[in-house]
Structure 1
Amino acid sequence: MMAAATDAILARLMGLHPKVIDLTLGRVQRLLAALGRPEATLPPVIHIAGTNGKGSTQAMIRAGLEARGDRVHAYTSPHLARFHERIRLAGALISEPALADLLDECEAANAGQPITFFEITTCAAFLAFARTPADWTLLEVGLGGRLDATNVVDRPRLTIITPVSIDHQQYLGETLPEIAGEKAGILKRGVPCIVGPQDEAALDVIEARAARLGAPLLVHGQHWHVQADRGRLIYHDETGLLDLPLPNLPGPHQIQNAGVALAALRALGADAAACEAAVTRADWPARMQRLRQGPLVQAAGACELWLDGGHNPAGGAAVAATLAAMPARRTHLVVGMLNTKDIAGYLRPLAARAESLTAVSIPGEPNTLPAAVTAEAARATGINARTADSVAQAVAGIAAADPGARILICGSLYLAGRVLQDNG
């Protein structure tokens, strides 16, 4: 069966609700009831919320669990190149025929009633997970937590809240405590929660909700600690100390993500070998990923070509810190962003690291920020900026002007996905 089959179904599902995002649990609970409540029969669930680091943390936990022979389902969003990336069944991406059948079943059960694309596709993932034997189910929250479509599992085995920062204010609230309250909505009575590094205002909210629910917390800086020391990752908690290699996922921020993953694995009884696999075997594309082959790499010539999907101020700070830790090299940015993002907040940390910025619009994305607007915002932060009609044009122009430099394509997961698609 060709991928066009699922593409056609997914296109139809996009039209079932006028809003792309409309947070509520009512519609998804209605459809799950019609499907026989698959969310009640999932393998043990680890539910992950937070603003930044959810995907990397999930990838590390999966690597650790799989290293000890466990079969792991994983759900993540958005996808980069193909929708199938969102649903991993017992270690393998869902097949085209299986996905088409599940989407057809969910569409029929929904019977044309209003439901968002994310809600109905989450129901399809739950069906797949409930019908395929596995030891664990890793669920990444799509947006927020309290009213996210994934938040229908009554009794997960473990919940996780990665660092919370300002993002998606139009849906989650304008202040950090408001946003933290939405993330903390995944906490369940009596279920342990791993809490990553947090601003004090966010942690206060999480701790207050946990106290009301009697949910035990394992908090960074209180119950577990992680740091890089002399080229090693040092983690310790009440169980003892782990001296591990640095994460294979690049960037100083991955130390914190690794700490969250290790705290989760220790809570699940993982041994030192599984913990080492978590930090050395994780695979998570478009997070400071070095591109080494494909048409864009050829266009870059002697330049290094990198790709990152971070898109909010915390993501910009993480990229800047990663660049600062890399060998010195003139760095040029190719940036495309959505018009819903804090572009100035994203670019401000990068200004000191960028020799130039070439702005592009994201192809095929209705909410793209026009390249000219991105370039203007970059100039306001002090970055020398221009525009290009495409990423390929931008890369070729930089390579011609500054051979041997570093080129980083960044600003949006949607742009990163398009780059991976076009680059093969």
Structure 2
Amino acid sequence: MTAGSDVILARMMALHPKVIDLTLDRVWRLLDALGNPQNDLPPVIHLAGTNGKGSTQAMIRAGLEQAGKRVHAYTSPHLARFHERIRLAGELISEDHLTAVLDECYAANGGGNITYFEITTAAALLAFARTAADYTLLEVGLGGRLDATNVIDAPALTVITPVDLDHQQFLGDTLPGIAGEKAGIIKRGVPCVVGPQHDDAMEVIEARAARLGAPLLAHGQHWQVSEERGRLVYQDETGLLDLPLPALPGPHQITNAGAAIAALRQLGCNEAACEAAMTDVFWPARMQHLTQGRIADRFRPADLWLDGGHNPAAGVMLARTLAALPNRPTHLVCGMLNTKDIRGYLLPLAKVAQSLTAISIPYEVNTLPADVTAKAARDAGLDTQVAASLDAALAAITAKDPHARILICGSLYLAGYVLRENA
């Protein structure tokens, strides 16, 4: 049976303008028709960045909730169900509530051109404004300056995680240009936590912050973080914290954790909250170990992992994560969208993986055909096969090695399919 929210979401897709032009005009028009709910939110923490913003947001939420705070959270895209995008005071939005706010936004829009992300963001802001909470975590969808979430005049805090090349068709093909878009969330006088950046990206961020008198809390200048003897060590001007490593695996999660701790400290949270940010965080499809579920059970004793990273920087971080695991051959099952830099993503992975099996992403019109992925993998130097489905790929690998380590990777859309199938 189709849920009411699914029907309305499908209807919203038809409102999409024929040409995507990044602008806030459509959002402002709809928010005004809704009574400007963005002005009635609990204090906002606004996060932008190319990689790591979702993980960093999840850590901040875990820390705030340990401190007894009720936290709204908005993220995208969803993996298995749209409801994942909107968390109200700690709980995923209910079907009835989601249907009601979507219906209200659809009616208020009056049939005007608006993107799916814009109108669903408005629905999230409407739900947040009507539900009591202590904080609102808003994750940027694309860029920052002209993103539909960038409608908050005075957030409590902004956060910019590492900036790299992605979505060049919308944000430009230079790091300074992309950094300028991300830095668009910086607001006058509002502190901004900044994760590690390339020098030319950092210059852009610093320049905007200086123009707006926004205090920066930057990695390497105002806070440091590292792994030492199996612990996370964080230091800023107020002192040193010795904490457990984050529950999210991978060397890149160390700096994401540092940004989350810097944010929590800026918000006045204590060491217990910072520790909970490490131990209580859960963020699916970020090097997620699949130990139970239909797929995991069927292919046991294979060691299955899932990751939704999809750009060259994610490929580098994923390769480092795999290299840090116990020494054992790793086989990739990869499906990607046709808008991504597949060569840039695969080159670092080719150094740590033994083979790649290419698949098309099921039910995704923008999937890269499996044979195109396979050609790119061969060009990168990987031993490569093509499979007709995920199950066929896993079966072929485990037929040769039942205990194989297998990473399913290349797209959040593929990750969402895996999580639905594994449920």
When the two structures are superposed, what TM-score results if normalisation uses the length of structure 2?
Answer: 0.99
Matches of 2:127 and 2:18, distance apart in 1: 26
For the Cα contact (< 8 Å) 1:84–1:95, is it kept in 2?
A: yes
1:179 is the counterpart of 2:199: no
CA contact (8 A) 1:74 1:89 kept: yes
* Superposition pairs of residues 162-177 of structure 1, within 5 angstroms: 162-177=161-176
Secondary structure (helix, strand or coil) at the match of 2:246 reads coil
Aligned pairs (5 A) from 1:20-419: 21-419=20-418
Query: Deviations along 1:319-377, whole A, 9 cap, x unmatched?
Result: 11111111111110000000110001000110011111000101111111000000000
Paired residue type of 1:14? M
Alpha-carbon deviations, 1:34-71, whole Å to 9, x = none? 00000001000000000000000000000000001000
Displacement of 1:145 in angstroms is 0.1
Q: Which amino acid aligns with 1:65?
A: L
In structure 2, runs of 5+ residues without a counterpart are none
Amino acid at match of 2:103: D
Whichever residue aligns with residue 406 of structure 1, its letter is R
CA distance in 1 between partners of 2:17 and 2:117 (Å): 13
Pair 197,387 (structure 1): closer, same or farther in 2 beyond 3 Å: same
CA–CA separation in structure 1 for the residues paired with 2:325 and 2:251 = 10
Identity of matched residues, %: 72
| Corresponding letter in the other structure for 1:339 | N
Contact 1:299 1:392 in 2 (8 A): no
Q: What amino acid maps onto 1:348 in structure 2?
A: L
Could you tell me how far 1:401 is from its partner in structure 2?
1.1
Q: Distance in 2 between matches of 1:21 and 1:219?
A: 33
**Does the 8 Å contact 1:16/1:113 carry over to 2?**
yes
Name the SS of the counterpart of 2:406 in structure 1.
strand
* 1:318 partner SS: helix
Question: Against the structure 1 CA distance between its residues 261 and 390, is the aligned structure 2 distance closer, same or farther, given a 3 Å change threshold?
Answer: same
Say which SS state the counterpart of residue 332 (structure 1) adopts.
Answer: strand
Count matched residues: 423
Q: Structure 1 CA distance, aligned partners of 2:300 and 2:76?
A: 32
Q: Distance in 1 between matches of 2:31 and 2:113?
A: 14
One-letter amino acid matched to 2:7: A
Amino acid of the structure 2 residue aligned with 1:410: C
Residue identity opposite 1:246 in structure 2: L
Q: Please tell me whether the aligned partners of residues 244 and 276 of structure 1 are also in contact (alpha carbons under 8 angstroms).
A: yes
State the alpha-carbon separation in 2 of the partners of residues 265 and 19 from structure 1: 41
Query: What whole-Å deviation, never above 9, does each CA across 1:1-38 have from its counterpart, x for those lacking one?
Result: x6521111100000101348531100000000000000
Matching residue's letter, 2:370: A
Preserved CA contact (<8 Å) 1:19 1:116? no
Q: For residues 296 and 20 of structure 2, what CA distance do their matches in structure 1 show?
A: 35
Q: Residue 280 of structure 1 aligns to which amino acid in structure 2?
A: T
Is the CA contact 1:27–1:114 (under 8 Å) kept in the aligned structure 2?
yes
User: C-alpha root-mean-square deviation of aligned residues, in Å?
Assistant: 0.9
How far, CA to CA, are the matches of 1:3 and 1:200 in structure 2?
49
SS at match of 1:205: helix
User: Residue in 1 aligned with 2:10?
Assistant: 11
Q: In 2, Cα distance between the equivalents of 1:250 and 1:334?
A: 19
Deviations 1:249-277 (A, max 9, x none): 10010000000000000000000000000
Quote the Cα distance in structure 2 between the aligned partners of 1:268 and 1:295. 41
Q: 1:20 to 1:3 in 2, by over 3 A?
A: farther
Cα displacement (A) at 1:300: 2.1
Q: Aligned AA for 1:169? A: Q
Query: 2:308 is aligned with what amino acid?
Result: G
CA deviations 1:88-139 (Å, max 9, x no partner) are 0000000000000000000000010000000000000000000000000000
- The code of the aligned residue for 2:181 comes to E
The letter for the 2-side match of 1:268 is: L
Match of 2:419 in 1: 420
User: Deviation at 1:298?
Assistant: 2.9
**3-state DSSP class of the match of 1:16?**
coil
Tell me the distance in 2 between the aligned counterparts of 1:346 and 1:303.
24
Distance 2:19 2:2 in 1: 23
> Does the 8 A contact of 1:357 with 1:384 survive in 2?
yes
Residues 161-203 of structure 1: CA deviation (Å, up to 9, x unaligned): 0000000000001100000000000010100000000000000
Counterpart secondary structure, 2:264: helix
- State the TM-score, normalized to the length of structure 1: 0.99
Moved more, 319-328 or 18-27: 18-27
Paired with 1:423 and 1:405, the residues of 2 have a C-alpha distance of 18
Runs of at least 5 residues in structure 1 that lack an aligned partner in the other structure: none
